[in-house]
């Protein structure tokens, strides 16, 4: 039976760290439930001292000198790694292991099961739907995280995009991480530990779990073994997704995702002049908008309906005027949140397209250099090879840089249309 860590593809080191920490956390709980004198019988390999002290000094603090600090459990963690490496998968798996009744992350007990299903009462997940996580949300979360875990184990807070915390939200979180309640564990996910992603003060309080980009072979293996995808399709999708497990799965399964990718990879052929370059820019932006709109439409409608039901739409009588004013502002809030989520979905869709395009020019470059590496996009490899011959390494590199600059510009808040138009013109001029 696969345990909760089975979904972490190609991350042996991280899984090893997390397993040991989960075992240590389970030992802390066992120690806390024992009368003080017997607590010294706890496995001295675990770094219990800090947590056990916080738990009321149940374990002998003297064990701290004899332990490997790398094995232990701590209150705050940061999972870092490139997109698709499984940061939030790792955080959820670890949360499940902490709530596991066996303390291992068995994958089958109620603790594991409810955590992975997102219904465990002591696991809270913050996934910003907009471009940032606000201070109000963070304060409410920190407050609730301080309560005693109802299941008797840990209060776990997962912050999926810790790099999207506003400064005020970061400060609210920092206070909690600096003086954590004894049974609260914070699991932060961020692309890197760069100060732009996570503030230095927060980072200094956390243990870091670096995840790497899994190899195409490891991703393909998972698609075959766990998703029942045919080996040839799995290999193609894993390479095309460039180490992003979720993207590889979508490409293997969703014909629309494949069509969108085909359209993006047709761009280099279509750039024959200024007009076609600007058309290609429009097409790319509009495709990202359409993809984003489709991805949020369902949840937007459901949220709106739920809010209207909650507000008792169309009420009359005493207090109805005041209630209407109140509900108008709630609807406005909802619309604001939805708009912010749509913007983010558009950026994510556009970024995926740009990563695909970068892969094409990278293939052209490696082919021009005759580098002995496998292409990212096997299906457009002949085209990339022809491009590489025509452009020479310098020309292929300039084009690759144009795509990467476009991503960086959008990340720095340049209007996507302007950045993409500039990129297409550079790709056409070469």
Helix segments in 146-188, DSSP class H? 167-178
Contact 17, 92 (CB under 8 A): no
Up-side HSE of residue 55: CA atoms within 13 Å toward CB? 30
Q: Give Dmax over CA atoms of the chain in angstroms.
A: 81
Nearer to Zn ion, 109 or 323 (CB): 109
How big is the chain by its Cα radius of gyration, in Å? 25
Q: Which residue has the tokens 């949220």?
A: 303
By beta carbon distance, the residue nearest Zn ion is 100
Kindly tell me the sign of the dihedral angle through the C-alpha atoms of 60, 66, 72, 75: positive
| Contacts of Zn ion in 275-334 (CB under 5 A) | none
Shortest distance, CB of residue 110 to Zn ion, whole angstroms? 8
Ramachandran quadrant class, 125 (left: phi over 0; alpha: psi -120 to 50; beta: rest): beta
Question: Going by C-beta distance under 8 Å and a sequence separation of 6 or more, which residues neighbour residue 47?
Answer: 24, 64, 67, 68, 69, 71, 72, 73
Shortest distance, CB of residue 345 to Zn ion, whole angstroms? 34
DSSP code of residue 62: G
Q: Establish if 78 lies at the interface with Zn ion (CB under 5 A).
A: no
Nearer to Zn ion, 100 or 240 (CB): 100
d(CA 73, CA 23): 8
Q: Which residue has the tokens 């490891």?
A: 218
The tokens of 358 are what?
Answer: 């970068």
Shortest distance, CB of residue 206 to Zn ion, whole angstroms? 25
Size of the site for Zn ion (CB under 5 A): 4
Shortest distance, CB of residue 12 to Zn ion, whole angstroms? 21
Site string for Zn ion, 165-204 (x = CB under 5 A): ----------------------------------------
Nearer to Zn ion, 64 or 109 (CB): 109
Shortest distance, CB of residue 29 to Zn ion, whole angstroms? 13
- Within 10 A of 240 (CB to CB), how many other CB atoms are there? 24
Contact 130, 343 (CB under 8 A): yes
Shortest distance, CB of residue 95 to Zn ion, whole angstroms? 11
Nearer to Zn ion, 98 or 112 (CB): 112
Shortest distance, CB of residue 208 to Zn ion, whole angstroms? 25
Nearer to Zn ion, 123 or 368 (CB): 123
Shortest distance, CB of residue 30 to Zn ion, whole angstroms? 15
Nearer to Zn ion, 108 or 193 (CB): 108
| Contacts of Zn ion in 84-123 (CB under 5 A) | 100, 106, 109, 112
Contact 269, 427 (CB under 8 A): no
d(CA 52, CA 182): 9
Shortest distance, CB of residue 334 to Zn ion, whole angstroms? 37
Nearer to Zn ion, 111 or 128 (CB): 111
Strands of the sheet containing 123-126, edge to edge, are 123-126, 155-159, 184-190, 76-80, 207-210
Nearer to Zn ion, 14 or 106 (CB): 106
Nearer to Zn ion, 158 or 284 (CB): 158
- The residue ranges that bind Zn ion (CB under 5 A) are 100, 106, 109, 112
């Amino acid at each position: 039976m696969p345990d909760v860590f089975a979904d972490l593809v190609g991350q042996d080191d991280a899984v090893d760290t997390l397993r040991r920490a989960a075992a240590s956390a389970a030992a802390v709980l066992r120690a806390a439930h024992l009368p003080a004198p017997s607590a010294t019988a706890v496995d001295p390999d675990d770094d219990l001292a800090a947590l056990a002290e916080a738990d009321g000094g149940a374990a002998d603090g003297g064990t701290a000198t004899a332990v490997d600090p790398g094995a232990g459990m701590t209150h705050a963690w940061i999972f870092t790694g490139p997109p698709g490496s499984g940061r939030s998968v790792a955080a959820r798996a670890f949360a499940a292991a902490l709530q596991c009744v066996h303390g291992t992350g068995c994958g089958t007990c109620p603790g594991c099961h409810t955590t992975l299903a997102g219904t465990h009462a002591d696991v809270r997940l913050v996934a910003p739907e907009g471009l940032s996580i606000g201070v109000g949300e963070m304060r409410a979360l920190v407050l609730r995280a301080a309560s005693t875990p109802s299941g008797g184990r840990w209060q776990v807070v997962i912050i999926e995009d810790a790099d999207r915390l506003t400064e005020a939200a970061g400060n609210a979180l920092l206070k909690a991480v600096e003086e954590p309640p004894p049974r609260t564990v914070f699991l932060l996910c961020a692309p890197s530990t760069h100060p732009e992603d996570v503030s230095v003060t927060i980072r200094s309080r956390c243990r870091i779990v670096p995840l790497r980009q899994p190899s195409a072979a490891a991703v393909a293996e998972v698609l075959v073994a766990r998703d029942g995808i045919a080996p040839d399709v799995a290999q193609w999708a894993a390479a095309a997704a460039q180490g992003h497990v979720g993207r590889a799965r979508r490409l293997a399964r969703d014909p629309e995702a494949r069509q969108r990718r085909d359209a993006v990879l047709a761009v280099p052929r279509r750039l024959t002049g200024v007009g076609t370059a600007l058309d290609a820019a429009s097409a790319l932006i509009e495709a990202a908008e359409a993809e984003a709109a489709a991805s949020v439409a369902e949840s937007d409608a459901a949220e709106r309906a739920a809010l209207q039901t909650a507000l008792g739409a169309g009420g009359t009588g005493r207090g109805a005027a005041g209630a209407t004013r109140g509900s108008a502002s709630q609807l406005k809030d909802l619309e604001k949140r939805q708009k912010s989520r749509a913007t983010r979905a558009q950026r994510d869709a556009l970024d995926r397209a740009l990563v695909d395009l970068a892969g094409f020019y990278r293939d052209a470059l490696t082919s021009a250099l005759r580098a002995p590496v496998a292409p990212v996009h096997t299906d457009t490899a002949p085209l990339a090879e022809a491009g590489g011959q025509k452009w020479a390494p310098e020309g292929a590199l300039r084009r690759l840089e144009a795509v990467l600059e476009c991503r960086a510009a959008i990340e720095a808040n340049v209007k996507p249309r302007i950045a993409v138009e500039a990129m297409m013109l550079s790709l056409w001029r070469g």
